[in-house]
Amino acid sequence: MKNWGKFFRNLVIFILIIGITFYILLKDQDLLHIVNILSSVKIQFVLIGIAGMSIYVICEAINIGRTLKSLNEKSNFIQNIKYALIGFFFSSVTPAASGGQPMQIYYMHKDKIAISNSTVTLLINLTSMQIITISFALISLIFNYSYLNGVLITFFIIGILLNLSALILLLIGIFSKKMTNGLINIAIKVMKFFKIKNIEAKKEKLQKELTKYQDNADYIKGNKRLILKTILTTLIQFTAYYSITYWTYRALGFSQFNIMQIITMQSVLYATVSGIPSPGAVGVTEGAFIEIFKSVYPQEMMSSAVLLNRGINFYFLVIVSGIVTIINHIRSGKKENIV
């Protein structure tokens, strides 16, 4: 694949940002104290948090599999888990999560799933995620407005506006034939500008894919039950994801705040940092967590709370999804060599 050089560059930047974040987070802290706190966590709540992250991945796999099946594509549960993990990994290590869906489409295509069908599937999934993220955050803001300072309010507004803009573009992409035709024409003009060979053949192939995409999009639009199931599954997915912050809170021995309070605070945090274009919103998420949850944790526990929470709901899955992505890439490469 031609873009692996760009991927490794993004990965280096991602690791560098993580290093800087951890340095800022830990430079004035007593590391032995943090190690002691983390070594004394209640393991049962850590395991529940990991289970919550597993539910997050499983729900996405269910959504992907359900839509592919409705489009007469064959994929099993393990494959759908693989697509979910690949999407998470590339979204985490590329700016503004820009690499997730393209890489999912790429690996689905290698598994003989039509690009038109995988595109519709992922657009439906992403649209559902945007609907839940925006709705959850706006409702949660009512209960958590006092936890935001001026800077975080600004970031929250920017995050909501960016998510709303993305949602509008996704809806146009799914429902507007005129817009999708316009995108094909733009692609053809770009190819002509760069003097790419066989433009007419490529144009014909793109239009054929577009016709399939539009037919499938029309089918999805008429299948309101499928859309409703996708949104409900996504609601469960993000509730499980947001709840991880509560389980890490309990793992550190606290119980003053209830699960709904912590979930709504985490949903505001997620919306606040979701508009940040850095890979995985690394650095910004940790800083926003400290600000939003400063009334939840004592100051001396904050660094430990950040490390444990992000360790479970982000870094752990980055490692797991990275391993799955590498194994899948090696296996798919071997299959190509055999063929």
Q: Is residue 19 part of a domain?
A: no
CB atoms within 10 A of CB 215: 13
Number of domains in the chain: 1
Query: For 40-114, where are the alpha helices, taking DSSP H only?
Result: 43-70, 77-93, 100-110
pTM recorded for the entire structure? 0.83
Quick one: pLDDT at residue 32?
Answer: 75
Domain span at 201: 4-14+41-338
Give pLDDT tens digits for 32-50: 767 788 888 999 999 999 9
Q: Is residue 22 part of a domain?
A: no
Q: Which residues contact 271 (CB under 8 A, 6 or more apart)?
A: 133, 134, 136, 137, 156, 159, 160, 163
Lowest mean pLDDT across 121-125, 165-169, 170-174, 320-324: 170-174
Give pLDDT tens digits for 190-223: 666 656 667 677 667 766 666 666 676 677 777 8
Tell me the two tokens of residue 241: 């994801």
Amino acid at 327: I
Q: Is residue 21 part of a domain?
A: no
Q: Is residue 225 part of a domain?
A: yes
Q: Is residue 28 part of a domain?
A: no
CA atoms within 13 A of residue 308's CA, in its CB half-sphere? 30
Give pLDDT tens digits for 64-120: 999 999 989 999 999 999 999 999 998 888 777 777 888 898 889 889 998 888 888
Contact 184, 207 (CB under 8 A): yes
Q: Is residue 90 part of a domain?
A: yes
Rounded to 5°, angle at Cα 209 from 194 and 117: 125
Give pLDDT tens digits for 222-237: 788 999 999 999 999 9
Rounded to 5°, angle at Cα 135 from 64 and 234: 20
For the chain, give the percent of residues with pLDDT over 90: 37
Instruction: Indicate if the pLDDT at residue 243 is higher than 90.
Output: yes
Give pLDDT tens digits for 289-313: 998 999 899 988 998 999 999 999 9
Q: Is residue 164 part of a domain?
A: yes
For the chain, give the percent of residues with pLDDT over 70: 78
Quick one: pLDDT at residue 266?
Answer: 95
Q: Is residue 31 part of a domain?
A: no
